[in-house]
Structure 1
Amino acid sequence: MKTLIFLICCICFNFVAKSQTNPPLQISGKIIDSSANKAITYASILLKNDKKVQLKSVVTGKDGSFSLTGLSTGNYLLAIVYVGYQTKVVPVALGTTSIVLNNISLMATPTQLKGVTVTADRPLIKQEIDRISYDVKADPESKVNNVLEMMRKVPMLSVDGDENIQLQGNSNYKILINGRPSGMMERNPKDILKSMPASSIERIEVITTPPAKYDGEGLAGIINIITFKKADNGTNGTINVSERFPVGGPGIGGSFTLKSGKFGIATNAGGNLNSTPLLNNSNLRNTLGANETKLWQTGNKDFSGKSGYIGTELSFEIDSLNLISAQFNYNANDNESLSNQYSTLNNLNQVLHTYELRNNLAGSGNGVDAALNYQLGFKKDKNRLLTFSYRYYKFTNDQFNNVGIFNQVINPSPNNPTPEALKDYQQQNSGGSSEQTVQIDYVLPIKKLTIEAGVKAIFRDNNSNFEYLSLNSSGDYILDPLRTNIFDNTQNVYGIYNTYQFNIKKWGVKAGVRAEQTEIDAVFTSSNLNRSSLNLIPSISVNRKFKDMSSINFGFTSRIQRPGINQLNPFVDRSNPNFESSGNPDLKPMKGHSIEVNYSRFKKASLNIGFRALHGTGIIMPSVVTDPVTQITRTSYANTGSATLIGLNVNINYPFSSKLRGVLGAMANYGIVKAEINGVDLDKQGLMRRAFTSLTYRPSKTWQATASVNYNGPNLSIQGTSNSFVFSSFSLNKDLFDNKLTLSFAANNAFNKYRKAINYTNGPNFIQESYNQNYQRNFTTSLNYRFGKLKDSIKKNKKGINNNDVSEGSSL
């Protein structure tokens, strides 16, 4: 693999040398008003070749001057465009020297353009060859909701009662920002998405058949969040300030884009404070068999936290063939909570153990990633590209629990004559991950065929340092070496891919294959784990368009999913003495295959219907086992078995009139899971469903009201299920100052103050019900301001690093 990378690098640098042989030329000049003989500022200058294909564009300065650099010899067309003036086209023959065009005059049009009113609504859903795109900007509730709330509306996505995102009922996916991995989404995505105002993003893409250029991981697919669109010379941005009460808190976020000549910058940033009052929770567990017991725990918990993020993309166009871009992302959070709990354990004859617990939890973390990309174009074809990319990424999560035990009473039983008394204890875990990635991509267009190829290497290090300290008789906290450990896991992934894309009349095809070699080395508890594997990952997407504005898509792909640090970390969380949870360093990657068919039609009513079947083996799922001796329920992860998911997704967008529009979405997935838990074969199957509907009424250009209802049915796992819930929302928007300022108000779940989140779990010798009370009702006020005006698109590398390959959770 190293030899292959070296050879490709040599070939690529040979391309670089050849492309720089001839010195670049330029076309410059000045644009003036034909009658007043005054300079025209900010006129658009479009440069096209003799085939009328646009190559470059700039705008004139304050003195009306412009300059187009980095050109080669040839025949060009220079188009000058300015509102209120007739467009002028000037043919230019560029020889061996640069050309200066003095005083190109524009003539004013007889009728001035006063304004254009667009009466047609933008479609919310767009079907592409390998993905579905949801236009967040076209949704009026984007001005008052955060991104996590908007995801409830996106086809194939759902958000459960604990605010976990699922793609077609599956939590094995990857979230990208602008097509690239981001530290904001890889450490704790739901906290960032809750703090990110939806007004700061453009759209959300769901890629269910990722092409071979993407990493092979992510069984369900990819969620791609586009934070900005192509920008023009000048500045543009949004600022959103909100307050959520009685729970939640203030938040601020926004985006800013600037382009000046060859330099461009696009930034997204935000943060929020979040708090909840005391909320109730409980656990009820019954063990079965010869010695039946009943554990009852009840308590309450409050929470307060803060989080923030910033992401920046920079680009500098050296000339028409050379482009440098860079990305930088940073996020951080800090939270704390206080929980109280009363616990009692009894058998059929007596109370065995009672105690009260108080837990002070403090958690924090941060993530940072930075990338640098160099893109080389070629003179004969601007779409032929060679890209070199490097990315560094690191995140850490820290957790500290200070647990106190009060009013403890122990009654020995014949089955447990010497039970161990609980002592005050502390536990802390510092875990994280870092990685470096290098990548080379090459794009070669040949008429209607586009060939892409590339090589990539990821060097990832997962680590954890955890300690357990118990209080001794002298009042000191003493380290327990049996519950303390240092864990280190390295994953090196080497990949190479080749894809082909072409369009023939009404047909479009994307096909390719990717090969990935994975090498894993883990060290913990004085033992080593070494493993390597080679995976071939094919993918194909076919699109057929019809005359009635409809299309049908077919897709097939094979995917894998490597376990992440949260699943690998052997740290045992003992914050609740009767329930322990940990990772499993011995996990293996999951494998899966999916096939899908989608039909779309965009006329007066927009219609999307999709069918998908997914089959996976070696699925990573939680394994829950209760020890009848210690009465401790332990949760870990295991490659427990296989899973099959068959799903149907429907979305309809219909305008009843020019003022009233309705949206209806529904998704149903039938899941079948077979696994072995604690030596017992389990077979679980059932239907998972969700539905969404909304009505938007716009009585005038500046007023808009929307009401929506979201239903989430039970979520299934191999050992249990959860309850269903309903989420409702009503929002009102008022646009001011020519739509630059929007005042918004939203009432979420106004009819229900609390939501009951109940999870049912069962095993070979126990049944369990866990209940958490969530504060559901909240009201939000929001102020959204848009500013700036842009005219020429920011350039960014068409290729970059996409590490969409790590799982941090798994469920059907």
Structure 2
Amino acid sequence: MKRFIQMTMMLMVFSYFSGQAQSRKISISANKLPLTRILEQIEKECTYSIVYSNEVIPDTVLVTVNVKRISVAELLDKILPEKQLFYKMMSERMLVIGSNRTVRLPVEEAENKITLSGRINDQKKNVLAFASVGLLQGLSYVGGSISNDNGVFQLSYPFKTQVKYTIKISSIGYQPLSVDFVYPDTVALKNLLLKEEQHTLNTVSITAARPLIERKTDRYIVNVEGSALADGNTGLEVLQKSPGIWVNSEGAIKIKGNQSVMVMINDVVQRMSEEDLAQYLRTLRSEDIKKIEIISNPPSEFEAAGAGGIVHIVLKKARMDGFAGQIGAAYKYGNRPFYAGGVSADYKVKNLYAQGNVSLVKDKSNYIGGRADIVYPDQSTYAGRTDRYNDNSRDQYRFGLAYDLSKNQLIGLQVMGAGSEMLQTFKTSILLNKPAELISGNALSDWVRRPKNTGATLNYLLRLDSTGSTFKVIGDYVQSSKTELNDFTSQYTDPSRNSRYRNNTPNLTNIYSLQADYTKVLNSKLELKTGLKYVSAKRDNTILSEDFIADEWVKNTGTSNQFIYDEHLLMAYVTLEKNIHKTSIKLGLRAEETDMKGNSITSGQTFSRKYLGWFPTAFLVQKLNEKTGSAIYLNYSRRLRRPQFNYLNPYRLQLNDYEVMTGNPDLLPEYTHKIELGYNFWNGFSADVYYSRTENTIAQFVNPIADNVIEYQPRNFNNSSDYGITLDAPVKLFKWWTTNNSVVLFHLATEISNFKVDQYSVYAKSMHTITLKHLFDFDMFANYSSPYVTSNSKMGYIFYLDLGFTKKLLDNQLRMRLSLTDIFDTFKEQEYTNYKDTRISSYQKRPTRTIGLSLSYSFSSGKKFKNKKIEQSNEEEKNRIGN
């Protein structure tokens, strides 16, 4: 494993000195074609917005070029100077092209700029985002801008009274528009209409490779769509292979260190336990995922939950006029089969937008072996060997509608549902070696779980003015339920130890939320956001424990329990963001009041908690070179983690003869202070250091109790500290070989009473993609996690290597993928605990070495149209960067 780490580190060091490879690579072959057409295709293929005037670049400017896989910057440096043109990067996604004869402003005029604004729509009154806007005075280009998500643009210039100006507007798929106005009469700018283009370009051949990783000042973006991650994986598997995300064997998701994160899907906060969330993510198809945003230190617009940050999964949305969709299927085989299939579709007619997807999974994979060994203080030992068999089914659906009430108003509705049926059987052989006594036996456990999630969301959006100010209201309802039955039987050489019992543990959770957000654009460099949110959650847990006595089931009143939990959250936030030249400052404050009550119907035990938390955030970003994306950033936040519903239930659940789980109604929320300092070298390359300290850390405590039983209970540890360094580097070894690499080196320490546990750890990932032209794409993924601390236990190392081959047919509409996972069969799970002179070790081996085949086919009909976002349950304010 040390060799793997050394190789990964050497690869990342090499990437640092390998030159400034731009993240967007293109190949282009054009012979005496208009430069304007080439620029339009670069906009379309490489996600740039290019601002220019038809006077600066008329259609008579022709270009001949033949290059393969060079950056956009290299291409423009090659073709613009000979035409007496230059370009300037205005942001990471926007550049302006001007003439060397462009009028330069005197200093005194530059200090007296006036800001004008307007709105751009198409003929159907749909707003046009990211349209290029150029400002001319006579024949000279004097300024430029780009429309935002609401079609609004702003122009800053020292306008003079009674002087004539011209604006030039262009957007892919629309005819250019030219509008004259005499300042200060700017009525013509308020609502501008573009007509759809009636012809398409077939004379330029351009291909673009969007990077897997895009690094922004406040987040990572993993572009799943079109990558090797996009075919034949579940949502959880995509996270496992995404750079910057670390998922353990139980589905717990981390960004840095070992702190919990908040997961969002299309801006929806997923209020589930880690186990339930992992099962839900397994119902998602990789074909339906567009990208994943990784926000390690979120601003105040986001809820304060999730000390480790936010992982935001963005699903694909409607992009085509008419009808478009995708259908796919996957098959994997280890020692038992795995089947998956799904379909997604989008449709638009007039002002109505519809989208939806459905997926089904059948998973019969099983553990090929597992064991648990315990050495007690009196030197007696327990040894258990287990085989586990699975027969799991999962399904998921999501449907949404959006309707334009007017050009300034949108209403949307979405419904979703997901369900699973997990049938699992455990066969265990037991050997208990006590002083002067040797006991052996066998146990059989049948475990049946059926979790379901359904929800509906209604949202309303009102655009208040032409500068981008908005008001938004979202109402949401989510219901989560699970039935769970564990039937356990054990037989020993000592008949007095024989037992048979079953635990029936259904639960039902209802969550209602209502939020309102207001955004006010005060000027081009100052923005205010504020909002309110209310969440009500009610959970009903039942534990029915029964013993099999005299050929009938008898309720165990001592361990049976019904527990009802009510939680009410009231939240408010305000943020203010100011841009000063290349410096961005963002300050925020969030307040969250929690009022919760617990009631054990069975025992009459009740408890209540009411507390108000203040969560400040501060962000400072200093851009160094906008062309390469280099920047330095410093941020701070205070966040919290509330106890899970099931943690607070005062229950006692016997898993088997030697393991028991108990609840803890005395749990308190944990609070985390976190600070980060980072440096983005250029697009994708970055390094940062971080430190966090958590009080009242919530963790699952492993505790030996009487009768050789091990108890698992969530407790508040005194504190925990976590600090480390992260390195991320996309490397282009050759024009046909690219890699993405991530390493996290961290130290985590926890303390409870007088017991301390700490560990230096490393996570490392490396993904390689090789494109063999006219043949197939080959990818290799390697993952390594060294031993790390969790609660009062330590987890063993994990290493695995996956291979994949992808063939694209029918102009990339049909994708065939052959995958080989864990080819060396090295993925194994180990846990060690040494507490109260009791040593516990467990080992589990899943059938991770598999071979799989997946097919996906994309189809479409109609013209490109402006996508309408259907916002969803518990939605947080969308951050501008990267969306």
TM interval, short-chain normalised: 0.7 to 0.9
Aligned-partner Cα distance in 2 for 1:443–1:456: 15
1:469 and 2:541 correspond: no
The one-letter amino acid paired with 1:157 is: I
TM-score (norm: length of structure 2): 0.76
Residue in 1 that maps onto 2:425 = 338
Residue in 2 that maps onto 1:682 = 755
Deviation of 1:194 after TM superposition, in Å, equals: 3.1
Of 404, 414, 420, 1:317 maps to: 404
Deviation of 1:77 after TM superposition, in Å, equals: 8.5
Of 643, 653, 659, 1:563 maps to: 643
Superimposed CA distance per residue, residues 422-444 of structure 1 (whole angstroms, 9 cap, x where no aligned partner): 43111110123211111111111
The one-letter amino acid paired with 1:777 is: R
Superimposed CA distance per residue, residues 322-341 of structure 1 (whole angstroms, 9 cap, x where no aligned partner): 11122222110001111112
- Cα gap change, 1:308 to 1:800, in 2 (>3 Å): closer
- Cα gap change, 1:520 to 1:551, in 2 (>3 Å): same
Superimposed CA distance per residue, residues 54-93 of structure 1 (whole angstroms, 9 cap, x where no aligned partner): 43235699xxxxxxxx999xx998979786x964547799
The one-letter amino acid paired with 1:367 is: N
Partners of 2:267 and 2:872 within 8 A in 1? no
Identity %: 19
Partners of 1:185 and 1:192 within 8 A in 2? no
Map of 1:252-651 to 2, 5 A cutoff? 252-277=341-366, 279-288=368-377, 291-351=378-438, 353-378=439-464, 380-381=465-466, 383-409=468-494, 421-447=497-523, 448-473=525-550, 475-524=551-600, 525-547=603-625, 548-602=628-682, 606-628=684-706, 630-651=707-728
Query: Gaps (5+ residues) in structure 2?
Result: 1-114, 127-149, 153-164, 878-883
Say which SS state the counterpart of residue 424 (structure 1) adopts.
Answer: strand
Deviation of 1:367 after TM superposition, in Å, equals: 0.8
Of 305, 308, 313, 1:225 maps to: 313
The one-letter amino acid paired with 1:580 is: V
Deviation of 1:371 after TM superposition, in Å, equals: 1.4
Of 653, 658, 661, 2:730 maps to: 653
Superimposed CA distance per residue, residues 661-712 of structure 1 (whole angstroms, 9 cap, x where no aligned partner): 1222211111111112xxxx11111112111113221121562111221112
Aligned-partner Cα distance in 2 for 1:261–1:94: 30
- Cα gap change, 1:95 to 1:719, in 2 (>3 Å): closer
The one-letter amino acid paired with 1:211 is: P
Deviation of 1:347 after TM superposition, in Å, equals: 2.2
Deviation of 1:254 after TM superposition, in Å, equals: 4.2
Structure 1 stretch displaced more, 295-304 or 174-183 = 174-183
Say which SS state the counterpart of residue 381 (structure 1) adopts.
Answer: coil
1:201 and 2:325 correspond: no
Of 747, 750, 755, 2:823 maps to: 750
Q: Report 1 or 2 for greater relative contact order, CA contacts < 8 Å, sequence distance ≥ 6.
A: 1
Deviation of 1:188 after TM superposition, in Å, equals: 2.1
Query: When the two structures are aligned, how many residues end up with a matched partner?
Result: 717
The one-letter amino acid paired with 1:626 is: P
Structure 1 stretch displaced more, 646-655 or 123-132 = 123-132
Say which SS state the counterpart of residue 501 (structure 1) adopts.
Answer: strand
Of 41, 46, 55, 2:120 maps to: 55
Aligned-partner Cα distance in 1 for 2:838–2:629: 56
Aligned-partner Cα distance in 1 for 2:272–2:793: 31
The one-letter amino acid paired with 2:772 is: P
Aligned-partner Cα distance in 1 for 2:367–2:739: 38
The one-letter amino acid paired with 1:497 is: Y
Aligned-partner Cα distance in 2 for 1:801–1:669: 32
Partners of 1:683 and 1:718 within 8 A in 2? no
Aligned-partner Cα distance in 2 for 1:501–1:198: 35
The one-letter amino acid paired with 1:527 is: Q
Partners of 2:509 and 2:540 within 8 A in 1? yes
Residue in 2 that maps onto 1:781 = 853
Residue in 1 that maps onto 2:836 = 764
Deviation of 1:797 after TM superposition, in Å, equals: 6.5
Say which SS state the counterpart of residue 776 (structure 1) adopts.
Answer: coil
Say which SS state the counterpart of residue 436 (structure 2) adopts.
Answer: coil
- Cα gap change, 1:739 to 1:424, in 2 (>3 Å): same
Aligned-partner Cα distance in 2 for 1:686–1:614: 15
Partners of 1:78 and 1:91 within 8 A in 2? no
TM-score (norm: length of structure 1): 0.82
- Cα gap change, 1:311 to 1:552, in 2 (>3 Å): farther
- Cα gap change, 1:230 to 1:118, in 2 (>3 Å): farther
- Cα gap change, 1:71 to 1:347, in 2 (>3 Å): closer
Partners of 2:491 and 2:498 within 8 A in 1? no
Partners of 1:322 and 1:374 within 8 A in 2? yes
Aligned-partner Cα distance in 1 for 2:571–2:592: 4
- Cα gap change, 1:354 to 1:86, in 2 (>3 Å): closer
The one-letter amino acid paired with 2:359 is: G
Partners of 2:500 and 2:547 within 8 A in 1? yes
The one-letter amino acid paired with 2:285 is: P
Deviation of 1:644 after TM superposition, in Å, equals: 0.6
The one-letter amino acid paired with 1:561 is: R
The one-letter amino acid paired with 1:279 is: I
Structure 1 stretch displaced more, 772-781 or 250-259 = 250-259
- Cα gap change, 1:237 to 1:300, in 2 (>3 Å): same
Residue in 1 that maps onto 2:768 = 695
Residue in 1 that maps onto 2:802 = 729
- Cα gap change, 1:800 to 1:444, in 2 (>3 Å): farther
Superimposed CA distance per residue, residues 555-606 of structure 1 (whole angstroms, 9 cap, x where no aligned partner): 1100011111232233433231111112222211110010112222336xx4
Partners of 1:747 and 1:779 within 8 A in 2? yes
Deviation of 1:654 after TM superposition, in Å, equals: 1.7
Aligned-partner Cα distance in 2 for 1:510–1:407: 65
The one-letter amino acid paired with 1:704 is: D
Query: Gaps (5+ residues) in structure 1?
Result: 1-49, 62-69, 411-419, 805-812
Residue in 2 that maps onto 1:152 = 240
- Aligned structure 1 segments of 4 or more residues deviating by more than 4 angstroms: 50-54, 58-61, 75-83, 88-96, 103-108, 182-187, 797-800
Partners of 1:134 and 1:205 within 8 A in 2? yes
- Cα gap change, 1:118 to 1:504, in 2 (>3 Å): farther
Partners of 2:519 and 2:528 within 8 A in 1? yes
Superimposed CA distance per residue, residues 251-299 of structure 1 (whole angstroms, 9 cap, x where no aligned partner): 11343222333221232331211112462222111111xx332112222
